[in-house]
Every structure is written in structure tokens, then in C-alpha cells.
């Protein structure tokens, strides 16, 4: 099956700093999503981005499908950005996502 | 819309007991799936369904059964609970045929935290 690798595994930032999270995948995909898992365990949809670039406030994402990677940018980080960020891909069009192991982000005040 | 709902939120079982985790969605989605998340890891697919009456196995199906008698509901049954099934379980849904360019976006329920003693 498809492999998903996220980097870095852990990231510690001071409030106000910028960061880039990376997701590499081993095969072509139909769907790619970024999620934020908050400290209560809830999975929050950030971006549905099988290709191209999208922005939502301080967050933006870019997927280069031909090169099999996606990037999530967080600018001017806040303590509420802390948590685990997951990349999930699907190459089956059957609602079968494969998740990476996540990047744990800690933003210090 | 309530989105994807899961019950219960927490459950403690003894080894060998059986139970059903409930999942429902009100978004008229065709696809539904169950995942488990173990500490420090991403989610792994247990079972999935592409429509009422159709189910199939995912990456880690052993010890679990599913059925899909309606579009809205997708229960997960633990047949004989084992400590290795201690995990957080997430249900997800996606794909509305009339949903446009984001019709494959997957939405997750709040999860069920299960402990097997």
C-alpha cells in the first residue's frame, strides 16, 4: 500500500515563529488532507488539497502531486496551534485514507 | 448538521466481553470507515464501506466486525475484547455524489476511547 512520511516528527517553536511541515507519499493520490489533532483528541480538517495551493488565515498548504509531497505552512504561530498535525492520503477513491505518523508541534509563549 | 457522531465517548471492558461502537452521519455520504489510533501513531484503517450493504477490510480488521444496513449508520463490533484493542476509535465519512470539487473530503467523529482490562 501507499506509504506516508511526515517530517519533522517533533517541532518546538516560540510564539510568533513560522514553520513548515512536510508530507511525502509513495504513489499518486486522488485525495490529500491535512488535519490538526487538538489536545482533546479531536481531528480538525485544515485543508483538502490533492493538488495546488490553498490559504486559510495564518495557515497555507501546497501539494505538488507530480513530485509526491505536500507542505503545510504555519505563520506567526500561537500557543493554540499546539497539537499533532496529520497528513492523510487516499489513492483508492473509496474513503480509505492512509495517515502519516504526524508532526507534534509545541508552541511556547 | 451534526456531522459524524460516535457513541459512547468512553468505555471500559473486561477481556472477552463484546460491545458495539456506534457511528452515524447526517451528510448523505456514501463512504464510511473506522480507524484506530494507538499512542504516538497515526490512524490505521480497520474496515470501510462504499455504500449500504457493502463493507470490506482495511489494514487491521482482526477482532472486529462491521455492517452497513443504512447510509447513515456504520456500527463497529468487538467480538471478544482483548487488551491489544485498547485504543481510540474514530469513525469517518466522505463522498457526496453532489458535493462538487470537495466531494471526497473526509470528516471524522469525536472518537471513542476504549480500555480493555
Q: What is the mean pLDDT of chain B?
A: 93
Q: What is the pLDDT of residue A58?
A: 98
Q: What percent of chain B has pLDDT over 90?
A: 84
Closest CA to B32 of B91, B97, B86, B76: B91
Residues of A with CB under 8 A from a CB of B: 1, 4, 30-31, 33, 35, 41-43, 45, 48, 86, 88, 90, 93-102
The pLDDT value recorded for residue A37 is 96
Percent of chain A with pLDDT over 70: 100
Closest A-chain CA to B108: A43
Give DSSP secondary structure letters for A43-85.
EEEEEE-SSEEEEETTEEEEEEGGGTEEEEEE-S--GGG-EEE
Q: Render pLDDT for A29-70 as a digit per residue (tens, 0 to 9).
A: 989 999 999 989 999 999 999 999 999 999 999 999 999 999
- Residues forming a β-bridge with A72: A21, A61
A90 with B92: Cβ contact below 8 A: no
Residues of B in contact with A43 (CB under 8 A): 90, 108, 111
- Output the pLDDT for position B99: 62
- The low-confidence residues of chain B, meaning pLDDT below 50, are none
Amino acid at each position: 500500500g501507499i506509504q506516508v512520511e511526515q517530517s519533522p516528527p517533533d517541532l518546538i517553536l516560540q510564539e510568533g515563529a513560522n514553520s513548515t511541515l512536510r508530507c511525502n507519499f509513495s504513489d499518486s493520490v486522488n485525495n490529500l488532507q491535512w488535519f490538526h489533532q487538538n489536545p482533546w483528541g479531536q481531528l480538525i480538517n485544515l485543508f483538502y488539497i490533492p493538488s495546488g495551493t490553498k490559504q486559510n488565515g495564518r495557515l497555507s498548504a501546497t501539494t505538488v502531486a507530480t513530485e509526491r509531497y505536500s507542505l503545510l505552512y504555519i505563520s506567526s504561530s500561537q500557543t493554540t496551534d499546539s497539537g499533532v498535525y496529520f497528513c492523510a492520503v487516499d489513492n483508492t477513491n473509496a474513503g480509505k485514507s492512509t495517515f502519516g505518523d504526524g508532526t507534534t508541534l509545541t508552541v511556547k509563549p | 448538521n451534526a456531522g459524524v457522531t460516535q457513541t459512547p465517548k468512553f468505555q471500559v471492558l473486561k477481556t472477552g466481553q463484546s460491545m458495539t461502537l456506534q457511528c452515524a452521519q447526517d451528510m448523505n455520504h456514501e463512504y464510511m470507515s473506522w480507524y484506530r489510533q494507538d499512542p504516538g501513531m497515526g490512524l490505521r484503517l480497520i474496515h470501510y464501506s462504499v455504500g449500504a450493504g457493502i463493507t470490506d477490510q482495511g489494514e487491521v480488521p482482526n477482532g472486529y466486525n462491521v455492517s452497513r444496513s443504512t447510509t447513515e449508520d456504520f456500527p463497529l463490533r468487538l467480538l471478544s475484547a482483548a487488551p491489544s484493542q485498547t485504543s481510540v476509535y474514530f469513525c469517518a465519512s466522505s463522498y457526496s455524489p453532489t458535493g462538487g470539487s470537495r466531494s471526497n473530503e473526509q470528516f471524522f467523529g469525536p472518537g471513542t476511547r476504549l480500555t480493555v482490562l
